[in-house]
Structure 1
């Protein structure tokens, strides 16, 4: 194949991918909160992998498991350590682990992977212990954390590999775990550790190279007229056995077992008789490979039938960066297991096994069902009494034919960007008397997305940056009593409040945030937490008058009128390049500029971008009033408000050429040039500009390849003799020099209540600069004419 053909195919695929991503559904957070150093944090020198957490609200502790140590931290301030216990490996264990081919300082250490509450002051803890998993009990008493001396083998309870996903849950005194049973990690197992231990079969039809994600307990025997048993639910992904695919296809699963399962009498001795699994469906609108489940959270209800599993999924294809969130009702999962069709393996030509829907007779005592009143009426009092026909059926056919559909029939949230890693969910009572599920979703770059569903619309309230440097969130926990979220990663733990209502200064911004935790207090004139009001004690009528909150509609009509924006007066000097700052408070808002009441659009004269308006080579005709307006769509309505007003006046001729800064400061004489970053294009132009750049690059590549084929040579392009301006990061941006002489910009000092404006910076032709943090205009010599947006 010729180079031209290869390049043509590449270009076509590249453009196809680019255009397909251009139309991808995406949910944008309304507000982005950058890294804040005032958050409570915990990190110990030389300690890594803070990936196991246990919230002990009765003790006021957050138990944090890391590599070779467990910390007891103050639940209200995790930077305060109450106690700690070190649990290292012996030299003998470490050498044995290294002899087996593992890294001595990374893998052959003791990583704490299990922390479960046993009673008020006692915890169950397990560690990898240099690929020799070990478990024991730990107590907290009188400010001391103590690991009991009697330890037990953790095989089947805790993974050998410190970086292998696994899950476990403590029910009473019994540990249910899903992990690997051997050193190589090739024998997956779902096990109950008790006096009557049970485990899964080592068969690919039961578990086929799984990655375990989450396990939890649902008390389905409570108020159950059928006398059914409690259930343990397990979420994982594995290689599919039911699909014919040229490569291994990963699918997401949910499985369950019965709490009182005792195994079979002859068939399935000491094995689960109730193990059933089904595929989880969380499909994207467009055709794609099945998404892979990464984490699950059970939002419990007083009636277990209304409890909901929330799950985050990521793509298994490297060409996609779209994460999703789906919700599954516990009752819907139960109905599928109790009444759905089974899949069965059949042998076709060339001894190939194919899985199809089972259409034969199902045993009367339904395979995989728990012991209920109907079974007891037939004399079956436990799984030991189940007939062999039922046990043989479930041994060979643990897979259901149908998939579990999401509660809403489709994903709750579809988000493009950094992949989701973990999630927790809080159930919040709002001022309208309804409860809302607020999702806190961790990402691979250390952000938390705070989202809620309003009448079928998923709304991301805000995204908060927890770590200064990108760091994947590996564990998350909630404390309802303290209203705090805890996140752990390889490099440390962070404590974040579930809400920060003080972030919203105006009533309009507070209501448009649509945060169930927050409302505008009319009497205090500030955005405050709803939970702090006595509404929680049952006086909604009072707070419907005193506090404003409109979650579904985003209705700001009840807000008091905000203070009128005062115009800022400045003197215009012809020939200058002028920047007028205006940044909206919301990522969902669009900025519109008006000049003397008429709309402005980007062209060779004006350039509108995220930080404001740039007027190139200003003239006397540019004097007048400039108004920056923010337009935000809320529930089908557009809300417009004025963000800033600038009044530019021409400078009278003959004035002294000095640069005066606001608040009475003036500067003269040569100084070092001030660096400046080029303006970023507007958000709605980014994709279009990117597409134009991609097409231009590919066109140049095609031309270059044609020329190479013709001339059998190479071209070198010498750098153009353009001016260079060095920015703060040490990078250079090339700006075409202008022949026009720089003029002076003389602002008239004016105070304004708005705080979203930048500083005044003026550059003179002799590379002098003047800077004031309180101003709003920027003039730069030598920008040249702006022919299109790509030159900015």
Structure 2
């Protein structure tokens, strides 16, 4: 083998390890696998798609909408069903849906899509109803859920297609909805159903193949010096009309309308006069295509003004080549400023068949197009949108798109994660032991896990990842209750409820503090990690730095183990953190692994024990934080080798085989073998031991120009065997019914050469 081969191997291995390290971007400190005790769960046999929720904290209820059913669950323990009601489609509706080309077993059902509380404490509920959406009112009394049979047309309120994204919100008993208004899904609308129905125009410049995400209300009229109106914000993605692209480009958007909008008098009758939209970016990711918004959460401090509210949004790539997901945060004041002061985009016809969108630089009508009715407009005699002049209305009808894109706080994402795509987000603000407020993000993924993460001064930190559903199912809805302090998640196959923190998972002070969980701290009296609000005393906690210097020394009990000579024993040691590395000491000195002392991911394996293996073994965990590096003892063993010890080692041997070497070691071995094989092939091609395919073809064309296609193929197939068989006799490829006869080399005609075969086995002659 060439002497450069080992150098190539050892040069490539560090590169492989670097790639593996980069793939662990924002890795969770703790991974909690699925377990029935992780949370409360609800599932009813034969019912699917638990993806609509309404928290009725006033009566301690969780209303859960599923396929053809609505459940009333105990808000404190959703595994307790208090009531339920079925809303199934009739056979006639199912038959008509089937005749329209839909699947009778999946699409031709009634998927509950809207659950909103009304002013009289009833529930407004809508379902897809076999591609014929309907709405009704539902009440809960005496432990029973009842549909009042006051059926209303659900078109424009609820989607036809149960698998189409939509958004809705109830504001002062008025339903705002974003969905498709027709069966084909080709007419998207943002609509307010009552008291005066108002919707968007059916123009591509307003909504172009949108994918609706979420809606939120902002009380911008509260203590407003300008006499402004409240706003309803809509987040969605759509095909960009302003892009001069060969292929369609999908971008993320935020749009808003004014609550008091009644439409125009002549222009834009029963259409929004305040509909404006702008591109919303989450930059700094590896893909050249913009990332697409998936969900948002509005976080407001009740002690501050609405301008200080934040929108947290999660994004996923639209390219299959990237597996990154991100979280970006936006100030409501920044969004509002773009709509109130920004430039507009306008379409300009060009020589080709499409319009080019550019920034509008002409005169802007007064009142400002898209603005709500404020004090300035009222002084001019405009008290409602019906009074707006046609020039202002025509302007906004043609130019609803803003030129400026909205950028996140800091100009970059708060959190980036490689792996399972983010699906839903909830953010909660908590006051830690240091008196500061921290925003903790709870993010649902397509693999049925919840990420609990925080961003401390630009540092991404995922506290833990908890598996909620098994088998893994995408989390389709995520809600938070301030009353119970619990999270509620829904998927196709069930719903789950988990607390904001499970502090008891940390068994030591150092583990509790290094988790940097704002909800948890170490109680030095009770000697356990507890919920911050549950302790009357001051707790040891360090959220920003992870400073565990105040922690007392861990009290680890030593275990005595006896091995019989030539026996096997595994010393267990599970790392408390994914960010920590474990190491072993023997008799106070670092242990050197060998063939008989194998270090595994979760322990140390002693094989064929001898007297020299006796001694004191200690497993150490080393973890870095912002403060410093911390080392703690995880396990302590005193091992003795005694012929009188237990001789039943079968279980130990089997366990060792199951655990085996670490995945990292296996990856290194595979990488080594692949690189070695490539280097060996390259060396043989270089030395001519293996011919290159194009060399064989060229050689045969030169030798047999009249039949170079077939000869080249045969010669290339046999060339690899030519060297070892060059001194052996030749025989014809077919014996023509006769015994094989040896032929002298000079007696073989040229025409027979392509069909001759070398014989490697002397017994065949």
In the alignment, what sits opposite 2:520?
518
Structure 1 position 551 matched with structure 2 position 543: yes
Note if contact 1:220-1:229 (Cα within 8 Å) is conserved in structure 2: yes
Note if contact 2:547-2:628 (Cα within 8 Å) is conserved in structure 1: no
Structure 1 position 592 matched with structure 2 position 583: yes
CA distance in 2, matches of 1:189, 1:18: 50
In the alignment, what sits opposite 1:437?
439
In the alignment, what sits opposite 1:159?
159
SS at the partner of 1:402?
A: coil
Note if contact 1:25-1:414 (Cα within 8 Å) is conserved in structure 2: no
In the alignment, what sits opposite 2:73?
73
SS at the partner of 1:350?
A: coil
Where do residues 576-725 of structure 1 align in structure 2 (5 Å cutoff)?
A: 579-600=570-591, 607-614=598-605, 624-647=615-638, 655=643, 660-661=645-646, 667=648, 674=654, 677-679=657-659, 692=672, 695=675, 709=693, 711-712=716-717
Structure 1 position 530 matched with structure 2 position 521: no
In the alignment, what sits opposite 1:288?
288
In the alignment, what sits opposite 1:502?
504
1:48–1:674: structure 2 CA closer, same or farther, 3 Å change rule? same
Structure 1 position 89 matched with structure 2 position 89: yes
Note if contact 1:52-1:115 (Cα within 8 Å) is conserved in structure 2: yes
106-115 vs 627-636, which deviates more? 627-636
Cα deviation, 1:441-500, whole Å, max 9, x if unaligned, reads: 111111111112222222211111111211111111111211211111111111111111
Question: How does the TM-score come out when normalised to structure 2?
Answer: 0.83
Structure 1 position 356 matched with structure 2 position 358: yes
1:221–1:65: structure 2 CA closer, same or farther, 3 Å change rule? same
Structure 1 position 487 matched with structure 2 position 495: no
Bigger Rg over Cα: 2
In the alignment, what sits opposite 2:100?
100
CA distance in 1, matches of 2:357, 2:679: 49
Note if contact 2:609-2:641 (Cα within 8 Å) is conserved in structure 1: no
Structure 1 position 174 matched with structure 2 position 174: yes
Tell me how far 1:695 sits from its aligned partner: 4.8
How many residue pairs get aligned? The number is: 679
CA distance in 2, matches of 1:288, 1:608: 43
SS at the partner of 1:389?
A: helix
CA distance in 1, matches of 2:275, 2:127: 27
Question: How does the TM-score come out when normalised to structure 1?
Answer: 0.80
In the alignment, what sits opposite 1:448?
450
Tell me how far 1:244 sits from its aligned partner: 2.7
CA distance in 2, matches of 1:474, 1:707: 57
Q: Can you give the 5+ residue segments of structure 2 that lack an aligned partner in the other structure?
A: 1-13, 697-715, 721-765
SS at the partner of 2:378?
A: helix
Tell me how far 1:25 sits from its aligned partner: 6.9
SS at the partner of 2:97?
A: helix
SS at the partner of 2:27?
A: coil
CA distance in 2, matches of 1:700, 1:98: 61
Note if contact 1:570-1:646 (Cα within 8 Å) is conserved in structure 2: no
Q: Can you give the 5+ residue segments of structure 1 that lack an aligned partner in the other structure?
A: 1-14, 535-542, 716-792
SS at the partner of 1:28?
A: coil
Tell me how far 1:155 sits from its aligned partner: 0.3
Note if contact 1:601-1:608 (Cα within 8 Å) is conserved in structure 2: no
623-632 vs 96-105, which deviates more? 623-632
Where do residues 737-752 of structure 1 align in structure 2 (5 Å cutoff)?
A: none
CA distance in 1, matches of 2:120, 2:666: 55
1:469–1:519: structure 2 CA closer, same or farther, 3 Å change rule? same
CA distance in 2, matches of 1:398, 1:459: 39
Structure 1 position 253 matched with structure 2 position 253: yes
In the alignment, what sits opposite 2:33?
34
In the alignment, what sits opposite 1:566?
558
In the alignment, what sits opposite 1:319?
321
Structure 1 position 331 matched with structure 2 position 330: no
Note if contact 1:501-1:528 (Cα within 8 Å) is conserved in structure 2: yes
205-214 vs 339-348, which deviates more? 339-348
1:512–1:20: structure 2 CA closer, same or farther, 3 Å change rule? closer
CA distance in 1, matches of 2:260, 2:194: 11
Tell me how far 1:305 sits from its aligned partner: 1.3
Note if contact 2:556-2:634 (Cα within 8 Å) is conserved in structure 1: no
SS at the partner of 1:401?
A: coil
CA distance in 1, matches of 2:496, 2:243: 42
SS at the partner of 2:293?
A: strand
1:624–1:516: structure 2 CA closer, same or farther, 3 Å change rule? same
SS at the partner of 2:409?
A: coil
In the alignment, what sits opposite 1:227?
227
Cα deviation, 1:166-198, whole Å, max 9, x if unaligned, reads: 000000111000000100101111000013111
Tell me how far 1:243 sits from its aligned partner: 2.2
Tell me how far 1:525 sits from its aligned partner: 2.2
Tell me how far 1:379 sits from its aligned partner: 2.0
Tell me how far 1:401 sits from its aligned partner: 1.5
Note if contact 1:121-1:141 (Cα within 8 Å) is conserved in structure 2: no
CA distance in 1, matches of 2:522, 2:719: 67
Note if contact 2:119-2:173 (Cα within 8 Å) is conserved in structure 1: no
CA distance in 2, matches of 1:359, 1:18: 54
CA distance in 2, matches of 1:156, 1:142: 33
CA distance in 1, matches of 2:454, 2:661: 30
CA distance in 1, matches of 2:450, 2:535: 26
SS at the partner of 1:212?
A: strand
Structure 1 position 244 matched with structure 2 position 244: yes
CA distance in 2, matches of 1:241, 1:699: 51
In the alignment, what sits opposite 1:110?
110
1:82–1:644: structure 2 CA closer, same or farther, 3 Å change rule? closer
Tell me how far 1:342 sits from its aligned partner: 1.6
Question: Quick one: which of 377, 381, 384 aligns to 1:382?
Answer: 384
515-524 vs 189-198, which deviates more? 515-524
Cα deviation, 1:198-252, whole Å, max 9, x if unaligned, reads: 1111111111111101001111100111111100000001112222333222111
Note if contact 1:632-1:639 (Cα within 8 Å) is conserved in structure 2: yes
Structure 1 position 465 matched with structure 2 position 456: no
1:358–1:85: structure 2 CA closer, same or farther, 3 Å change rule? same
Tell me how far 1:348 sits from its aligned partner: 2.4
